[in-house]
Amino acid sequence: MNSTYPHSLGASVAVLHGVGARVEEKLNRLGIYTVQDLLFHLPLRYIDRTRIIPIGSLQAGESALVQGTVELTQIKFGRRRSLLCRISDGTGALTLRFFHFSKSQQDRLQRYTRIRCYGQVRHGTQTLEMIHPEYQLIADDQLLPVDEHLTPIYPTTDGLQQNRLRKLTAQALTALKRHNNDLPELLPDKILKKFNLPELSTAIVYVHHPPPDAATRNLMEGIHPAQQRLAFEELLAQYLSLRRLRQHLRSHEATALTRHGNLTMTFLRQLPFTLTTAQQRAANEIRMDLKIGTPMLRLLQGDVGSGKTVVAALAALQAIESGYQVAIMAPTELLADQHYSTFHGWLKALAVPIILFTGKSNKSERNRGLSILASQTPCIAVGTHALFQQGVVFAQLRLIIIDEQHRFGVHQRLALLDKGQHTYIFPHQLIMTATPIPRTLAMTAYADLDISIIDELPPGRQPVNTAVIPTSKRDDIITRIKQACNEGRQVYWVCTLIEESEVLQCEAAIDTCQYLKDKLPTIKVGLIHGRMKGADKESIMAAFKSGELQLLVATTVIEVGVDVPNASLMIIENAERLGLFQMHQLRGRVGRGSMKSDCVLLYQSPLTEMARTRLETMRNTNNGFEIAQKDLELRGPGELLGTRQSGLPELRIADLLRDVKLLPDIHIAANILINQYPDCIQPLIDRWHGKDIDYGKV
C-alpha cells in the first residue's frame, strides 16, 4: 500500500487503488479528475440491500434482497431457452430466470444450495420471478452480513461498473475523514443556522452512504436536507460568480451616448406602425441605460413576433446619433441577411451606412466594410460570428446587439467585448431573446443582466390556430395548401430532423419538395436548407418574401427570426420529434401579420406520452410563457436556457427546476456573504466553478 495513503483530496484519481490508465480516462469522461471530484459525483438513486425481505411478502415491481434455498434448477426449452432456478425461504417460492447462462452456472445452482439475490420482482408463470438477478452463493457455515447503508447508484459511463465507482468513492470518503481540512466548511455558522443546513462533510458522507433508516423517498427525489445542502452551496456559488461578472463589467467605463440629432424622430415618423406600449417602455429603459457612462448589460425578452427588432433599431440609432458604431450579431446567416435588409429598408432614407459581414462576404465587400469600420464613420455592422473574427477592427464600437442570445455563449459575448477594448472603453450590450425565462430562473441564470420585457404583441395579431394530424393524412393537407395559395396566402412546409444529421434533413427536404411540386403543379414551390450556398439561400428568401414563391419547403434553418408577414400557413412534419420551445419558435414564423394563420403539426404514430403532451400543449396555447413553463417541466432548465450553448457553468448537483424554491434564500445568503463575509466568496466560487469563467477577460 502506498505510504501516503489515504491521499489528499486534491490528488489525482490515479493514486487510488483500482485506477489504471483506462479507468482514469473513463473517470475523466465523467468530469472526475481528483479524489475530491469523486465526493461531488453524487448518486442518481439508491437501492436497499440493508434488509432481507421474506419471499412471501414480495410485490411485483419492487426491487428486493432475498435469501433462500434452491429447490429445483432446470433448463426450459421454448421460444427462448432459459435456465430456471426455484428458491424458497419457507414463506414462499421465487423463480430466478437466466437467458444467458453457462453449464457451470447450472451446476452450481444445485438443490439445497443457499443463495442470496437482488433484483426486480415481476410476475412469472407459476411464482414471482427475478430475471438475471445479482446473486451470491452462501456456504453452509457462512454468515453473510447485509449492507449497512443504502447502496448508491452513480451516473456512469460505458465500461465503468457501479461496483468500481462505489469502491473508489469509499476510498475518497476515507481520505475525507483523514484530511477533513482539505474540504473546509466555507459557509459561516450564521448561514448554516439561519437556513438550517447540515455541515458540508456530514452532507457528503450522508449522500454517499445513507443509513438504513434514511428517508429513502426524499433521497430518491433529491430533496433530502443533505442533498439540498449541496445544491444550496452550488447555486450560491453560481449566483455569486455571475454577480461578480456583472460587477467586473460595470466597473469599466463606457461612453455615454447622449447626443441627439433628429434621426430617431425621422425614423419613427416613417415607420409604417406605431410602437406598442411595451416596446416604448423597453426602448425607454434602453435609452436611459445608454445615456450613462457605465456599460449597459440588458436582456430584451419578448415572445416570438413581439417586435424586438425595431427596439434594437432605436438603440442603434442612439449610438449613430452620438457619432459611434454598432454591431448587430445574429445566430445564422439567414437571420443576418434578414436584419441587414430590414435595417436597410428602415434606414436608407436616413443615409446611415449599413455593412453586412457573414462567412460568405467576398473579399472586396469585406475590405470595403473593414475600411468603413476602421474609419470612425458612424455605421451599423450586421453579421454572424464573422463579426468577431480576427482582423475585424471597429474604430468606434460603442453598442453590441446580440439577437437570439441562447445561441451564443457567455464566452462569445466576452470575445465581442474585446472589440471595443483597445480603447479601454467598453461597448454597451443589448441581448435579445424570445425565451421567456421565469423570473426567479432569470435572476440566477442571468444575474449579470438587467431585463426589459415586451409582454404584448403588436395590435391585430390573431392567435395561430393549431391542428395536430397524423402523417397518414398527409394528402388532405395538399388540398389545404392549394386553397391557401389560391387565396393569396403563403405557406411554409418544414421538414424536421430525421436524425441529428443535417445531410439527412436536407435530403428529406429535397424529396418533399419534389413530392409537393408533383402534387401541386400550379403552385410555385421553393426550397431552402442549411447546405445551400449563402447567396442561394438569400435569393430564395427574397423570392418568398416578395411573394414570387408561394410555398417554401424548408428545414429548421428557418427556426429563428425569419419574418415574412404574409406567410400564414405552416406545416411541420414529424412534429413529435421537436422540443416544445422549438415548435413554438417555428410556429412563430406565421401569425406575424394581421391575417388569420394556421399551423398543422403532422406526427408519426405511435406517440410517446411526452410527445403527446407536447403536441397537446401546442394545440392549446400560443403563449410563449406557458409553453416555456411546460418545456421546463418536461425537460428541465438546462434545455430551456440552452445551458450548453449559452456557456453558463453547468450545474453538477443542483437542478434549477427542482431547487427553484431555494433561490430566494440563496439571494439572501449571497447578500450576507457580500456584506459580512466577503472572504468566503472566492473560495466558494473556486470550489464549484473554478475554471468556468475567465475573469481575466473582463
Positions that interact with ligand ADP (CB under 6 A) = 273, 275-276, 279, 302, 304-310, 434, 458, 563, 565, 592
Q: Concatenated DSSP letters for 119-153?
A: EEEEE-SSSEEEES-EEEEE-TT---PPPSSPEEE
585/646 with CB nearer ligand ADP: 585
- The DSSP H or E segment spanning 363 is helix 363-374
Q: How far is the CB of 561 from Mg ion (least distance, A)?
A: 4
If contact means CB under 5 to 8 A according to the sort of partner, which of ligand ADP, Mg ion, none does residue 307 touch?
Answer: ligand ADP
Proportion of the chain in helix, strand, coil states, percent, rounded to 5: 45, 20, 40
Collect contacts of 175-179 with beta carbons under 8 A, ≥24 apart. 175/6, 175/7, 175/8, 175/9, 175/35, 176/9, 176/39, 176/201, 176/204, 176/205, 177/6, 178/6, 179/6, 179/8, 179/9
Which of ligand ADP, Mg ion, none does residue 436 bind (CB under 5 to 8 Å by kind)? none
Helix axis angle for 502-519 and 474-486, nearest 10°, is 70
Give the range of 219-227, 388-396, 494-502, 554-562 binding Mg ion by CB under 5 A. 554-562
E-state strands within 471-533: 490-494, 525-528
Order of strands across the sheet that contains 397-402: 354-357, 380-383, 325-329, 397-402, 428-433, 297-302, 450-454
- Determine if 458 is a binding residue for Mg ion (CB under 5 A): no
Cell of 638: 438546462
Nearest distance from residue 452's CB to ligand ADP, in Å? 12
> How do beta strands 128-131 and 93-98 pair?
parallel
User: Cα dist. 546→27, 349, 487, 523, 565 in Å?
Assistant: 56, 21, 16, 15, 11
Is 334 or 615 the residue whose CB approaches Mg ion more closely? Answer: 334
Residue 555 interacting entry, from Mg ion, ligand ADP, none, C-beta within 5 to 8 Å by type: none
**Nearest approach, Cβ of residue 337 and ligand ADP (Å):** 14
Min CB(256)–Mg ion separation in Å: 28
Contact of residue 5 among ligand ADP, Mg ion, none (CB under 5-8 Å per partner type) = none
What's the grid cell of residue 113?
444450495
Task: Quote the least distance from Cβ 539 to Mg ion, whole Å.
Answer: 21
In the bound complex, what is the minimum distance in angstroms from residue 300's beta carbon to ligand ADP? 9
Residue 627 near residue 584, CB atoms below 8 Å: yes
Q: In the complex with ligand ADP, which residue's Cβ is closer, 304 or 553?
A: 304
CA distances from 257 to 252, 385, 595 (A): 15, 25, 39
Could you tell me the smallest distance in angstroms from the CB atom of residue 312 to Mg ion? 9
Q: Which of 225/565 has CB closer to ligand ADP?
A: 565
How big is the CA angle at 232 (ends 228 and 238), to the nearest 5 degrees?
Answer: 145
Q: Which is nearer to ligand ADP, 215 or 349 (CB)?
A: 349
Which C-beta is closer to ligand ADP: that of 60 or that of 271? 271
Residue placing its CB nearer to ligand ADP in the complex, 226 or 275: 275
Residue 49: which of 169, 143, 185, 144 has the closest Cα? Answer: 144
Give the range of 8-16, 246-254, 553-561, 604-612 binding Mg ion by CB under 5 A: 553-561
Smaller CB distance to ligand ADP: residue 392 or 434? Answer: 434
CB-based contacts of 497, cutoff 8 Å, min separation 6: 505, 556, 574, 577, 578
Q: Can you read off the three cell numbers belonging to residue 157?
A: 459511463
From the list Mg ion, ligand ADP, none, partner contacted by residue 592 (C-beta under 5 to 8 A by kind): ligand ADP
* Cβ-based nearer residue to ligand ADP, 207 or 569: 569
- The rounded distance, in Å, linking the Cα atoms of 660 and 639 is 16
Site string for Mg ion, 463-492 (x = CB under 5 A): ------------------------------
Q: Which does 565 bind (CB under 5 to 8 A by kind): ligand ADP, Mg ion, none?
A: ligand ADP
Report the alpha-carbon distance of residue 148 to residue 151 in Å, rounded: 9
| Helix, coil or strand: residue 228 | helix
CB 264 within 8 A of CB 350: no
Q: How far is the CB of 264 from ligand ADP (least distance, A)?
A: 16
Q: Which residue is nearest to ligand ADP (CB)?
A: 307
Q: How far is the CB of 149 from ligand ADP (least distance, A)?
A: 53
- Using CA atoms, how far residue 208 sits from 81, 489, 638, in Å, is 40, 61, 25
Counting contacts by CB under 5 A, is residue 593 touching Mg ion? no
Tell me the residue nearest to Mg ion as measured from the CB: 561
255 binds, among ligand ADP, Mg ion, none (CB under 5 to 8 A by kind): none
How remote is the C-alpha of 135 from its chain's centroid?
40
Q: Which does 331 bind (CB under 5 to 8 A by kind): Mg ion, ligand ADP, none?
A: none
Q: Which is nearer to Mg ion, 561 or 649 (CB)?
A: 561
Which ranges constitute the DSSP H helices of 407-455?
410-419, 439-445
Question: In angstroms, what is the minimal distance from the CB of 279 to ligand ADP?
Answer: 6
Choose between 563 and 665: whose C-beta lies nearer to Mg ion: 563
Q: Is 561 in the site for Mg ion (CB under 5 A)?
A: yes
Please report how close the Cβ of residue 625 comes to Mg ion at its closest, in angstroms. 17
Q: What residue ranges bind Mg ion (CB under 5 A)?
A: 561
